[in-house]
Structure 1
Amino acid sequence: MMRLSCTLLLLGLSSPSWAGVTVQQAGLVVPAAYASRRDDAQKIFVTSYNAYKEFTFGHDDLSPVSEGFSDGRNGWGASIVDAMPTMFIMGLEDIFEEAVNFSSTIDFSKSQTLFETTIRYIGGLLSSYELSGEKYPVLVAKAKEVADKMAFGWVGSNEMPYGFMDFSTNTPTIDTSNIAKAGTLSLEWFTLSKYTGNTTYADLTAKSVKHIANLASPLPGLAAQGIDPTSGNAVGSYVTWGGGSDSYFEYLIKYARLTNTDDPIYLDTWKARSLRGTAVDSSIKTLLRNSTVGNHLYFADFDGSSIRHVGSHLACFHAGNWLLGGKLLGNQTIINIALELNEGCWNTYASTATGIGPEAFAFISSDGNYTGGNRISASQLQFYNQHRFYITSSAYIMRPEVLESNFHAWRVTGDTKYLDRAAGAIDSFNKFLPTTIAFTALNDVDSINGGFIDDMESFWFAEVLKYLYLTFDDPVHISLDNYVFNTECQPFKAPSALDSYNGKLVPAEPFTVQSGSLPEISPNPFLPMPLKKIINPE
Structure 2
Amino acid sequence: MRLPCILTLLSATSYSLAGVTVQKPGLTVPPAYASHKAAAEKIFTTSYAAYKKFAFGHDELLPVSEGPNDDLGGWGASLVDAMGTMVVMGLTDLFEEAVNYTATVDFNTSPADELISVFETNIRWVAGLLSSYELSGKKYPILVEKAKQVADKLAFAWVGDNVIPYNTMNFTTNSPEIGTTNIAQVGTLTLEWAALTKYTGNATYANLTAKAVIYTAGLATPLPGLAPQVIDPSTGQFADAYLTWGGGSDSYFEYLVKFARYTNNENPIFLDTWKTAVDSSIHTLLKTSTVGNWSFLADQDDQGLIRHVGSHLACFYAGNWLLGGQLLQNKTIVDIALLLNDGCWNTYASTVTGIGPETFAFIGSDGNFTGGDPITAEELTFYNEHGFYITGSDYIQRPEVLESNFYAWRVTGDTKYLDRAASAIASFNKWLPANAGFASLNDVNSADGGFIDIQESFWFAEVLKYLYLTFDDPSHLSLDTHVWNTECHPFEAPPALDSYTAKLIPQKPFTPHITNQPRPAVSPIPQLE
TM-score by length of 1: 0.90
1:213 aligns with 2:217: yes
How far apart are 1:221 and its partner, in Å? 0.2
- Cross-structure match for 2:66: 67
Distance (Å, rounded) in 2 between the aligned partners of 1:503 and 1:229: 28
Change (3 A) 1:279 1:35: same
**Contact conserved, 1:10 with 1:260, CA < 8 A, in 2?**
no
Change (3 A) 1:122 1:255: same
What is the root-mean-square deviation of aligned Cα atoms in Å? Answer: 1.6
- Cross-structure match for 1:252: 256
**Contact conserved, 1:311 with 1:362, CA < 8 A, in 2?**
yes
Change (3 A) 1:373 1:70: same
Unaligned 5+ residue runs, structure 1?
272-277, 506-538
Q: 1:287 aligns with which of 277, 285, 288?
A: 285
Distance (Å, rounded) in 2 between the aligned partners of 1:484 and 1:429: 27
- Cross-structure match for 2:524: none
Q: 1:114 aligns with which of 105, 118, 131?
A: 118
Tell me the alpha carbon deviations over residues 4-26 of structure 1, each in whole angstroms, 9 at most, x when there is no partner: 9733525569xxxx962111111
Change (3 A) 1:503 1:19: farther
Q: 2:6 aligns with which of 6, 9, 20?
A: 9
1:289 aligned partner, one-letter code: K
**Contact conserved, 1:443 with 1:450, CA < 8 A, in 2?**
yes
1:194 aligned partner, one-letter code: K
Change (3 A) 1:8 1:114: farther
1:404 aligns with 2:403: yes
- Cross-structure match for 1:349: 348
- Cross-structure match for 1:150: 154
1:418 aligned partner, one-letter code: Y
Give the aligned length: 493
Give 1:134-145 correspondences, 5 Å limit: 134-145=138-149
2:397 aligned partner, one-letter code: M
- Cross-structure match for 1:176: 180
- Cross-structure match for 2:56: 57
- Cross-structure match for 2:377: 378
**Contact conserved, 1:11 with 1:260, CA < 8 A, in 2?**
no
How far apart are 1:113 and its partner, in Å? 1.0
**Contact conserved, 2:182 with 2:249, CA < 8 A, in 1?**
yes
1:159 aligns with 2:160: no
**Contact conserved, 2:271 with 2:502, CA < 8 A, in 1?**
no
**Contact conserved, 1:179 with 1:248, CA < 8 A, in 2?**
yes
Counterpart secondary structure, 1:165 = strand
How far apart are 1:328 and its partner, in Å? 0.5
1:188 aligns with 2:192: yes
Distance (Å, rounded) in 1 between the aligned partners of 2:7 and 2:221: 31
Give 1:90-101 correspondences, 5 Å limit: 90-101=89-100
2:78 aligned partner, one-letter code: S
Counterpart secondary structure, 2:216 = helix
- Cross-structure match for 1:328: 327
Change (3 A) 1:504 1:122: closer
**Contact conserved, 1:81 with 1:120, CA < 8 A, in 2?**
yes
Distance (Å, rounded) in 2 between the aligned partners of 1:419 and 1:404: 12
2:27 aligned partner, one-letter code: L
How far apart are 1:215 and its partner, in Å? 1.1
| Paired-residue identity, % | 68
Counterpart secondary structure, 1:69 = strand
How far apart are 1:80 and its partner, in Å? 0.3
Distance (Å, rounded) in 2 between the aligned partners of 1:148 and 1:368: 49
Counterpart secondary structure, 2:68 = strand
How far apart are 1:385 and its partner, in Å? 0.3
Distance (Å, rounded) in 1 between the aligned partners of 2:325 and 2:281: 14
Tell me the alpha carbon deviations over residues 82-108 of structure 1, each in whole angstroms, 9 at most, x when there is no partner: 110000000000000000011111110
- Cross-structure match for 2:307: 308
Change (3 A) 1:483 1:359: same
How far apart are 1:500 and its partner, in Å? 1.4
- Cross-structure match for 2:515: none
Tell me the alpha carbon deviations over residues 41-76 of structure 1, each in whole angstroms, 9 at most, x when there is no partner: 000000000000000101000000001121111000
Distance (Å, rounded) in 2 between the aligned partners of 1:295 and 1:374: 23
Counterpart secondary structure, 1:492 = strand
Counterpart secondary structure, 2:365 = coil
